[in-house]
Chains A and B, each alone.
Chain A
Amino acid sequence: MPFSRHHLTGMKGLTREEIETILTTAESLKEISFRDIKKVPTLRGKTVVNFFHEPSTRTRTSFEIAAKRLSADTVSLSAGTSSLVKGETLIDTAKNLEAMGPDVIVIRHSLAGAPHLLSRSVKASIINAGDGMHEHPTQALLDLMTIREKKGTLQGLQVAIIGDIAHSRVARSNIIGLKTMGAQVMVAGPPTMIPPHLDAFGVEVSYQLEEIIPRADVIMMLRVQLERQQQLLFPSLREYSRFFGLHPGNMKKAKKDVIIMHPGPVNRGVELHPDLADGPFSVILDQVTNGVAVRMALLYLLLGGERK
Chain B
Amino acid sequence: MKYLIKGGRLIDPANQLDDLMDIYIQNGKIQDLLPAAPRRTDRELTDYRIIPAEGLVVTPGLIDMHTHLREPGQEYKETILTGAQAAVAGGFAAVACMPNTQPVNDQRSVCEFIVSRAREARLAKVFPVGAISIGLRGEALAEYGDLKEGGAVALSDDGHPVMNGQLMRRAMEYAKAFRLPIIAHCEDLHLSQSGVMNEGPTSTWLGLRGIPAAAEETMVQRDILLCQLTGHPLHIAHVSTAGSVQFIREAKKKGLPVSAETAPHYFTLTEDTLVGFDTLAKVNPPLRSREDLQAIQKGLKDGTLDVIASDHAPHSSLEKEVEFEQALCGLIGLETALPLTLQLVHKGLLTLPQAIAKFTTGPARALNLEGWGQLQRNGPAHLTILDPFFEFQVDVQQFRSKSRNSPFNGFKLKGKALLTMVNGRIVHNLLFQTLEGS
Contacts and interface: CB of A to CB of B under 8 A. Distances in A.
Interface of A: 12, 89-91, 109, 111-114, 116-117, 131-135, 169, 172, 195-198, 200-201
Contacts of B325: 111-113, 132
A198 B277 contact: no
B395 interface: no
A201 B201 contact: yes
A103 B209 CA distance: 33
Given A116-B276, A116-B277, A200-B201, A111 B206 contact: no
Contacts of A133: 207-209
Interface stretch (B136-144, B316-324, B406-414, B425-433): B316-324
Interface in B202-216: 203-210
Nearest to A172: B207
Contacts of B205: 12, 172, 201
A90 B208 CA distance: 19
A111 B326 contact: yes
B257 interface: no
Contacts of B203: 195
Contacts of B210: 196
A187 B321 CA distance: 36
Interface in B58-90: none
Given A114-B323, A201-B201, 14 more contacts: A89-B321, A91-B322, A112-B324, A112-B325, A113-B277, A113-B324, A116-B276, A132-B207, A132-B325, A133-B209, A134-B207, A172-B207, A196-B199, A196-B201
B92 to A, nearest CB: 34
Nearest to A113: B277
A114 B207 CA distance: 12
Nearest to A89: B322
B303 interface: no
Contacts of A134: 206-208
B200 interface: yes
Q: Which 4 residue pairs across A and B have the least CB separation, nearest first?
A: A113-B277, A134-B207, A133-B207, A197-B201
23 contacts: A12-B205, A89-B321, A111-B323, A111-B326, A112-B206, A112-B277, A113-B206, A113-B208, A113-B277, A116-B277, A117-B323, A131-B207, A132-B325, A134-B208, A135-B207, A169-B207, A195-B203, A196-B199, A196-B201, A196-B210, A197-B200, A198-B204, A201-B205
Interface residues of B, number: 19
Interface of B: 199-201, 203-210, 276-277, 321-326
Nearest to B190: A232
Nearest to A114: B323
A117 B321 CA distance: 8
A12 B207 CA distance: 12
Contacts of A131: 207
A13 to B, nearest CB: 10
A117 B277 contact: yes
A109 B321 CA distance: 16
B199 A90 contact: no
Contact of A91 (B199, B204, B321): B321
B357 to A, nearest CB: 37
A135 B277 CA distance: 13
Nearest to A167: B207
A200 B200 CA distance: 11
Nearest to B322: A89
A57 B276 CA distance: 29
A134 B201 CA distance: 13
A117 B326 CA distance: 12
A109 B323 contact: yes
A201 B200 CA distance: 12
A196 B200 contact: yes
B324 A111 contact: yes
Given A116-B276, A200-B201, A90 B322 contact: yes
Contacts of A195: 203-204
A109 B204 CA distance: 18
A197 B204 contact: yes
Contacts of B199: 196
Contacts of A113: 206, 208, 277, 323-325
Nearest to A165: B204
A135 B203 CA distance: 12
Contact of A112 (B200, B208, B321): B208
Contacts of B276: 116
Contacts of B200: 196-197
Nearest to B324: A113
A194 B101 CA distance: 39
Nearest to A198: B204
Choose among B205, B209, B276, B322 the residue with the greatest number of A CB atoms under 10 Å from its CB. Answer: B205
